[in-house]
Amino acid sequence: MSLQRLAGGLFLVFAALAGGAAAWAEELYTVRDVQVEVTAADAAQAREAAIALGQSRALQRLWARLVPAEALQRAPSLSAERIAGLIEDFRVADERSGEDSYAGRLTVSFRPAEVRRVLRDADVPYAEQRGRPLLLLPLYADESGTRLWGDPNPWRRAWRRYGEVGLVPVIVPLGDLGDIGAIDAERAEALDRNALDAIAAVHGTEEVLVTIARLSGDPAAGEAGLSIELRRIGPGRDGGMEMESLRQREGEPAERFYERAVAAVDGRIQGEWKRDNQLRFDSRERLLVRVPLRGLEDWVQVRRRLDDTASVIGLEILHLSRERAILGLSYVGEESQLARSLAQQSLALRAEPSDSPGLPTWRLTLGVDARMPPAPGAGDEERRDGEEGAGAGVGPEAGAAPDDGLPATRLPLGVQ
């Protein structure tokens, strides 16, 4: 699909303002609750080794969070020193030291730009675009019946404990009066659309995932199995059934067994999204855009947000004045991914003809604009011009921007 056709049928609705996007990036690149325990010659060496081990484990969890499963083996193995260079900061809780041992729980925050660079250099596809929240209903079935809100429901408790961050936020209802009034186990199992729409409205989501964990065997005896039905309802989803099955491992506590089942289902949810939204570096495009400015502060904001847009890998400033910038954006991935990534940084990309001849048809602006103009017809030709790198018809040399005392700039700047 071309960007022109995309603009004709898509209006960018912003999921978050700049602060929200920054908070999401910080959460995505922060790995929590990394448990470590190390024995060494003395406590100091044990602590040093434990922190290095925890940082390595945190990076492996980050790779699993961003990289599709089929590409995960291509994620690079890095030395402890290289990993340390990717880290913004880390914190340790529950520290316990002995004469020759150390244990603790780490929270590690990585630098998004540095992590992206490592993955790009290794040519590893990854995704960081946030999906729409998914409401999950955890039904549990054993010999005494099927339950949603009632106890015992270890399946629901395991979901409530699960703390792993994913690109698709999964909402598990508390089971308060609003939830109970909207749907019960019988209607959820029957995929009652009225009830599912009601519970989705309570939580402000478009999609509902009904999960039914059917127990066989005895978890207390370590001989349990779970057969989990997954039925997703929402736009483009008709509730077709998928299955996930697990057996309890020898010596595995029941609580850990249910947590592993939760991780398996969440892995399916996140994996599907990552496959559909991964950035691939074998597909690179270039787009000319004009950016209206009200002054230096606007330019600083635009530049910072472009720096934080994962799919933008290069930026060429063709013209810069107090009122306008003309940019050549190099990006990877699908065109729709570029639009969504920019929207997540509160940058609106839309096709809009200019009153001044020679200016790019594509307009990039800060903030939310509720209008959606028709796509112009000249965009495909303009895009081909940009790909050839000519830059013709833009900047003050073409009479496109007013002479306001600022020099035109042609600086290839890498956006990380």
Going by pLDDT thresholds of 50, 70 and 90, the confidence category of residue 20 is low
For residue range 163-181, list pLDDT tens digits in order: 899 999 999 999 999 999 9
Structural domain contains residue 296: yes
Structural domain contains residue 239: yes
Q: Are residues 76 and 175 in the same domain?
A: no
Structural domain contains residue 407: yes
Return left, alpha or beta for 358; rule: phi > 0 is left, psi -120 to 50 is alpha, else beta: left
**Low-confidence winner among 12-21, 62-71, 169-178 (lowest mean pLDDT):** 12-21
For residue range 363-379, list pLDDT tens digits in order: 899 874 423 333 333 33
Does the pLDDT value for residue 54 go beyond 90? Answer: yes
Please count the structural domains in the chain: 3
Q: Are residues 152 and 259 in the same domain?
A: yes
Domain end call among 95, 110, 125: 110
Give me the percent of the chain exceeding a pLDDT of 70: 83
Going by pLDDT thresholds of 50, 70 and 90, the confidence category of residue 258 is very high
Going by pLDDT thresholds of 50, 70 and 90, the confidence category of residue 21 is low
Structural domain contains residue 267: yes
Going by pLDDT thresholds of 50, 70 and 90, the confidence category of residue 22 is low
Q: Are residues 259 and 289 in the same domain?
A: no
**E strand or H helix at 385:** helix 379-387
Q: Are residues 319 and 360 in the same domain?
A: yes
Q: Are residues 230 and 270 in the same domain?
A: yes
Q: Are residues 269 and 333 in the same domain?
A: no
Does the pLDDT value for residue 317 go beyond 80? Answer: yes
For residue range 221-230, list pLDDT tens digits in order: 999 999 999 9
Q: Are residues 142 and 267 in the same domain?
A: yes
- How far is residue 284's CA from residue 282's CA, in Å, rounded to a whole number? 6
Going by pLDDT thresholds of 50, 70 and 90, the confidence category of residue 345 is confident
What is the average pLDDT across 92-119? 94
What is the average pLDDT across 125-143? 93
pLDDT at 280: 76
Does the pLDDT value for residue 217 go beyond 90? Answer: yes
pLDDT at 83: 97
Q: 127 versus 334: which is more confidently predicted?
A: 127
Domain span including residue 213: 134-277
pLDDT at 47: 95
Q: 266 versus 375: which is more confidently predicted?
A: 266
| Cα–Cα separations (whole angstroms), residue 14 to 114, 130, 182, 200, 405 | 26, 12, 29, 20, 35
pLDDT at 412: 34
Residue 156 neighbours by CB distance under 10 Å: 26
Query: What is the token pair recorded at 365?
Result: 């602006």
Is the Cα torsion angle 73, 75, 76, 78 positive or negative in sign? negative
> What are all long-range contacts of 386-392, with beta carbons under 8 Å and residues at least 24 apart?
386/286, 386/287, 386/288, 386/328, 386/360, 387/285, 387/286, 389/286, 389/328, 391/288, 391/316, 391/318, 391/328
- How far is residue 316's CA from residue 37's CA, in Å, rounded to a whole number? 48
